[in-house]
A and B are shown apart, each in its own frame.
Chain A
C-alpha cells in the first residue's frame, strides 16, 4: 500500500515537472520577444543573447516609426478588427437565431451549406477572392477585409448552438402574440439572451481579424493602408533586418492579444474548440 502511495507521489511530481517545463518552452518565445524589443540589433545577436530587458526600447520604437507608418498601420488594424467584429456579431446572430428558432423552407439544406463552407480549405478562396475584389474595385480598400467574412459559417454555427438552448421558443411566441414586431423580438428579446455567445464570438472575430495575414496579403497594395501583420512583414529583408524594431512591432501587435487572453482565456478556449468539443 505505502509503495503504491509513494508511486503516486513520484509520478505526480514527474507530471508537474514535465508539464511545467513544457509550459516554459511554450512561453519562452513570448518572453524573448519582449526582451529583444528592448535591445539593439547588435545586442540581440551577442553571444550569449540577452536574457533580461535592456534600455533600447525607445530607440527601437523610433527606428520602427521611421521605417513604417506604424501608428497608421496599428490604427487600420484596430479599425478593421472592430468593423469586422461589429458586422459579424450582427449578421451571425441574425442567421443563428433564424436557424435555431424559425421554420422556413430549405432550412436543412441551407444549414448544411453553412456547415460545408466551414470545411472549405482557405487556399480555395485565394484566387477567387482576388478576382472578385478586383472586379468590385475593392483592391487596397479596407472593406475588402471586413465585409466578405462578416456572415461567417463558424459564427452562425456558434450562434445557432447557443440560441437553441438559451432562447425559449415560448417567449418568442408570446411576444409575437402581444403584437411585437419581428425586428423588435430579435433586438429586445433574442440579442440580450445571446450575450454570452456574442462575447465569445466577438473575441474570436476580433483576434482572427487582428492576426489575419492571407486576406490583406492578397488585397492590400500600399504600405500606408497595410494592417499590422503585413506592415511588420515588409520590414523583414534578407540583409540588415532591424531586429530590435521588428521585435517592438511584434510585441505591440501581441500585447492586445495577451490582454484579451488574460481576461477571457476560458471563454476563448471554449469558443475556439466549440465545434470539436460539443
Chain B
C-alpha cells in the first residue's frame, strides 16, 4: 500500500512526528502545570472562588509554610518513616541477596518472586489487609506477638506512637524485594576468581563478605539508598490509606506529601500547598545530593 505523496512523511520531519506525542503531552500535562504551580506558590487562592480571585502575596505562602507547626511535624514524620523503613530495607536486603545468590539454584526464581510480589500489588489492597492484621484486639500480628513473646496487645493504629512503626513495617515489607533484586544483579557482576583467590589465601566467609562483597556492592548501595531517600520523601499512599487520609491520631503518620494533599483538597489552600510542594522538592534535591556526597570517597571528584 502506498500513501499519496502529500501524506508520506519525509525522513526529515519523521523524528519530530514520532516524538510529538511525548512533546505535546509533556507540554500540556508536565511543563505548563509545573510552571503554573510555581506561579501559584506566590498567590493566595481558593479554587472555589474562581481564577480572578487570585491575589499576589509574594513570599507569604513560603513564610506561612515555614511557620506552620503541622508542616514541620509532617517533615519530621516523613524523615522518621523514611529512616525506619529505609535503613532496615538495605540492612536486610544485602545479606538476603547474598544468601540467595550463594545457596539457591533451582528455587531461585520462586524465592525472588515471593520477595518481589508485594512491590507489584495494589497499595490499597495491602493497606486494607494490614489494617486488619494490625487491629488491636483481634489482629493476627498481636496474636502472633502474644503467643511468641507474651507481649500485651498493642494498639497499633489507635495510639500516636504506634502508627509510625506500623506504617514503616508495611513500607519495609513492600520494597524489600525490589532492593533484593538490585543487589542480586550487582552480585552477579562480581568476578568469581576474587573469591577463589581469597579462599586460597585462607580468608573466611566473613572476611570475604566485608573485603570483597561489600566494597563491590558499594555503587549499588549508593543507588539503592538514593532511591529509598527519594521514595521515602514522597511517601503518600500507605499512610494515607491506613489512616483514612487524615494522618492518624495526633497526625503522627501524616507525611509531607499527605499534608500537601490536605492543604489543597481538604483546606482549599492551593497557593500554600504549591509553595509547600516546591519547598519539599528542594528538600528532595538537597537530600539526593547529600546522599550522593556521603557515599563518595573523600577528596575524590564529585
Instruction: Please list the residues of chain A having a beta carbon within 8 angstroms of any beta carbon in chain B.
Output: 11-12, 15-16, 18-20, 22-23, 25-27, 29-30, 32-33, 36, 44-49, 90-91, 94-95, 97-99, 102-104, 107, 110, 113-114, 117, 119, 121-132, 134, 147-151, 156, 176, 181-183, 186, 207, 210-211, 213-214, 218, 228-230, 232-233, 236, 238, 243, 246-247, 250-251, 253-254, 257-258, 261, 265-266, 268-269, 272-273, 276-277
Given A44-B132, A91-B22, A181-B9: A26 and B15 within 8 A (CB)? no
Stretch of B34-42, B65-73, B79-87 with 4 or more beta carbons under 8 angstroms from chain A: B34-42
| Residue of chain A at shortest CB distance from B32 | A132
Given A44-B132, A91-B22, A277-B185: A207 and B241 within 8 A (CB)? no
A22 to B180, CA, bound (A): 12
Given A12-B103, A19-B104, A257-B120: A214 and B234 within 8 A (CB)? no
B302 CB–A CB distance under 8 Å: no
B56 CB–A CB distance under 8 Å: no
Q: Which residues of B contact A20 (CB under 8 A)?
A: 111
- Complex contact B99–A30 (CB within 8 A): no
Having A47-B138, A125-B34, A128-B32, one finds 19 other A-B pairs with CB under 8 Å, namely: A16-B103, A29-B130, A33-B125, A98-B19, A123-B236, A123-B257, A123-B261, A123-B277, A123-B280, A126-B264, A126-B277, A128-B34, A131-B37, A148-B28, A148-B29, A181-B3, A232-B128, A253-B122, A269-B112
Stretch of B160-168, B171-179, B290-298 with 4 or more beta carbons under 8 angstroms from chain A: B171-179
- Complex contact B40–A236 (CB within 8 A): no
Q: Which residues of A contact B23 (CB under 8 A)?
A: 110
- Interface size for chain B: under 10, 10 to 19, 20 to 34, or 35 or more residues? 35 or more
- Complex contact A102–B29 (CB within 8 A): no
Q: Which residues of A contact B111 (CB under 8 A)?
A: 19-20, 23
- With both chains docked as a complex, state the minimum distance between the C-beta of B131 and any C-beta of chain A, in angstroms: 7
